[in-house]
Each structure stands twice: as structure tokens, then as C-alpha cells.
């Protein structure tokens, strides 16, 4: 089935969803969707006319208006990690399909070509009501969510929902996706050219275009780069790094994202807790929930820049999908914090 064709709604989905959530009331909607074999958006759309309002907007225009809502909680997730930041949408700039939010708390990189559908959602559990704006890609996967907090302006939130209410309040069609293309075999890679391009990097933002130029998957590139550029570490590296950063009160940067949005925390981490397969940061204003059991490889990576070398800890699942990236706190024009570099360098190396 090609992109553009639609997946028909499952018969009795509402009843099956109700049965599942009655049996497992704490089951998250993303997990419920996976259990039911549908997209998360299809479950949200079941509430149209009751708990959900379909939105219609140039999403960049809507994002530019989020600052008026005051403090909110921004949530972005990938397959195995959830990143939550509380703050105000400030310093928003939209340029065609790309956008930035560069507030002191909420820091986002937006790829709006992947934002296809939006909803305002009201969830009620006992005396608690949660209001949110939720955005999905063509396949019905969530790319970004914005939750109201006790300090949010609910009058302006209601006005925003009315302003962008879709004329058609029926569930949108869900497009079927294609599997990601397989990377080219190692023996077809121009490895000398690739290594020369790596060593000529002047900005970390040049890394993704370089991978595209040489038609490399990210983990394939790390594997071919050589240990002076990228070395594998054990899969306790996340826990070790966060614990060391917390103990040293070392500010770090934590990136989590998907094709439509990357969300960044910059600052210290303090309250760390393991819960089943999840390792969590539970700080005021920043929560991270990362499924440790999904980490298949961990890499300490060094990239040259005009400001000196920049070191990251990069975590991947068994399919080579990125789970999270960790850096030391820095801004363009500033060299890397030596304390972060020492921490990253201390992580044990392992054989591939």
C-alpha cells in the first residue's frame, strides 16, 4: 500500500478501545493504539464531538500564538523516550516548513512538513481535567503535544480552539507509510570521502546533510568513523552519565524527537529514578522517560566545529533509530565545557 492510500477504520474500534481501557485504566493511549493495531490519532478522533475538536491551520501560525497561553507543558516523544518541558512558547520563528522555538525553557526544532493533523483534546479522570493540543503526522503518529497547566490562560486556549476549529469534524484519513529504505552496503560507501567530510565539519548541524550526501544510516556512519570519532560504550552509559551529571551539578543538553519535532532540555538534572524498564528524570519543569531496555547501542561521538570539538552520547534502538542525544551545555560560539568532555571520555569503551 503506497502513501496516499488510506487504512480503513477498524470495525468496532470504539468498543474495543473502551473494553481495553476498562480492563487497564492506566494504559497510555499510544500503547493502547499499538495493542489495537491502529494509530494514536485514530483513538483521539473517536472523541470528536465530545472530547476532541479537529483543528485546521497553518500549523506555524498556530504555534506563533501559543505564547499567549502562558506556561504550558510541551511534550515530544520518539519510539522509546518522552521529553516534557514546562514553560512559555517564546522567540518563535517560522520559515516555510521549518520552525524554531527558542525560549529559555521550551526549545524546539520544528519540521512542519510532517505535521498533517491537529486536535484539541479534553481528558477527564475523576476531578481532574487535562486540556491539550495534539499534532500528528500523515500516519497518525503524534509529533508534538501541548498541555495546559494550572498557570495557563484557559480563556485564550478556548479562543484559540475556536479560531482554528476545522469546518469538517469527521475523523481524517490515515495514510499508510512505507518502510525506511535500507542503507547502502559498507563496501559501496566512499569511506575516505566520508571521513574527510567528517573531519571538515564546522558545525554540528552539518552532520545530517553529510549523512545524506554519503547515503549513510547514522549508526552505520558511527561504525565506519573509527574510534577517534565514534566509539561504542556499554548500554549503562545513559544511567552513568545522568548520575554523574546530577552529582556534579553539571548542566547538560538532552535531545529527544521524531521526524516532525526535536525537543531540547538545557540545564541540570537532579531527581533520577528507575521504574521497571524506564529510566526517568523527574525534575520541576523537566521530565524525561526513557525505555532503557530499548537501548541497543550507545556511542560517544566527537565532531569538529569552528568552536572546537563537540562530544555527544548517542543512544539507538535495534533498528538504528535514535532514542536520545546528550551533550554538554553550550551555545554557538562557545567551546565545549571541559567537565562534560571529561565525563563523556570516562565512559567505558566496548568492542563492536
Q: Give the span between the Cα atoms of 156 and 173, in whole angstroms.
A: 29
Q: What is the pLDDT of residue 177?
A: 78
pTM, to two decimals: 0.93
pLDDT value, residue 270: 98
Burial of 70 (0-12, 13-18, 19+ CB in 10 A): middle
The full set of domains in the chain, from first to last, is 13-89+116-163 (3.40.1570.10), 186-346 (3.40.1570.10)
What pLDDT is stored for residue 233 in this prediction? 97
Per-residue model confidence (pLDDT) at position 132? 98
Do 329 and 341 form a contact (C-beta atoms < 8 A)?
no
3-class SS at 59?
A: helix
Query: 301 — phi, psi (to 5°)?
Result: -120, 135
Q: Give the whole-angstrom CA distance, residue 111 versus residue 109.
A: 7
Task: Give the distance between the most distant pair of CA atoms in the chain.
Answer: 62
Low-confidence ranges of the chain (pLDDT < 50): 1-11
Query: Which residues have a Cβ under 8 Å from the Cβ of 32 and sit 6 or more positions away?
Result: 17, 20, 21, 24, 43
What pLDDT sits at residue 37? 94
**Measured distance CA(226)–CA(230) in Å, rounded:** 6
Nine-digit cell string for 39 = 494509530
Please state, in angstroms and rounded to a whole number, the distance separating the CA atoms of residues 250 and 335: 15
State the Rg of the chain over Cα: 21
Amino acid at each position: 500500500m503506497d502513501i496516499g492510500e488510506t487504512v480503513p477504520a477498524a470495525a468496532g474500534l470504539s468498543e474495543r478501545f473502551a473494553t481495553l481501557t476498562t480492563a487497564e485504566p492506566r494504559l497510555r493511549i499510544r500503547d493502547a493504539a499499538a495493542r489495537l493495531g491502529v494509530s494514536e490519532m485514530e483513538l483521539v478522533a473517536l472523541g470528536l464531538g465530545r472530547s476532541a475538536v479537529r483543528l485546521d491551520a497553518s500549523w506555524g501560525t498556530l504555534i506563533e500564538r501559543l505564547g499567549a497561553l502562558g506556561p504550558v507543558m510541551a511534550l515530544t516523544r520518539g519510539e522509546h523516550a518522552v521529553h516534557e518541558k514546562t514553560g512559555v512558547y517564546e522567540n518563535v520563528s517560522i520559515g516555510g516548513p521549518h520552525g524554531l522555538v527558542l525560549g529559555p525553557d521550551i526549545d524546539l526544532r520544528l519540521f512542519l512538513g510532517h505535521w498533517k493533523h491537529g486536535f484539541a483534546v479534553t481528558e477527564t479522570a475523576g476531578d481532574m481535567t487535562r486540556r491539550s493540543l495534539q499534532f500528528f503526522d500523515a500516519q497518525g503518529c503524534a509529533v508534538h503535544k501541548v498541555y495546559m497547566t494550572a498557570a495557563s490562560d484557559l480563556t485564550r486556549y478556548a479562543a484559540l480552539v475556536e479560531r482554528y476549529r476545522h469546518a469538517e469534524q469527521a475523523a481524517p484519513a490515515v495514510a499508510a507509510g512505507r518502510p525506511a529504505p535500507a542503507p547502502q552496503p559498507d563496501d559501496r560507501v566512499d569511506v575516505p570521502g566520508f571521513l574527510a567530510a567528517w573531519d571538515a565539519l564546522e558545525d554540528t548541524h552539518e552532520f545530517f546533510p553529510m549523512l545524506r550526501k554519503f547515503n549513510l544510516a547514522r549508526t552505520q556512519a558511527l561504525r565506519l568513523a573509527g574510534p577517534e570519532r565514534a566509539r561504542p560504550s556499554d548500554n549503562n552509559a545513559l544511567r552513568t552519565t545522568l548520575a554523574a551529571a546530577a552529582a556534579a551539578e553539571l548542566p547538560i543538553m538532552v535531545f529527544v524527537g521524531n521526524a516532525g519535532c526535536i525537543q531540547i532540555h538545557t540545564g541540570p538534572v537532579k531527581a533520577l529514578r528507575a521504574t521497571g524498564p524506564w529510566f526517568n528524570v523527574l525534575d520541576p519543569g523537566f521530565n524525561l522517560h526513557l525505555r532503557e531496555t530499548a537501548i541497543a547501542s550507545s556511542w560517544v561521538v566527537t565532531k569538529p566545529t569552528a568552536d572546537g570539538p563537540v562530544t555527544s552520547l548517542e543512544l539507538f534502538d535495534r533498528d538504528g533509530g535514535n532514542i536520545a542525544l546528550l551533550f554538554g551545555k553550550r551555545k554557538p560560539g562557545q567551546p565545549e565545557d571541559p567537565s562534560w568532555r571529561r565525563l563523556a571520555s570516562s565512559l567505558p569503551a566496548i568492542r563492536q
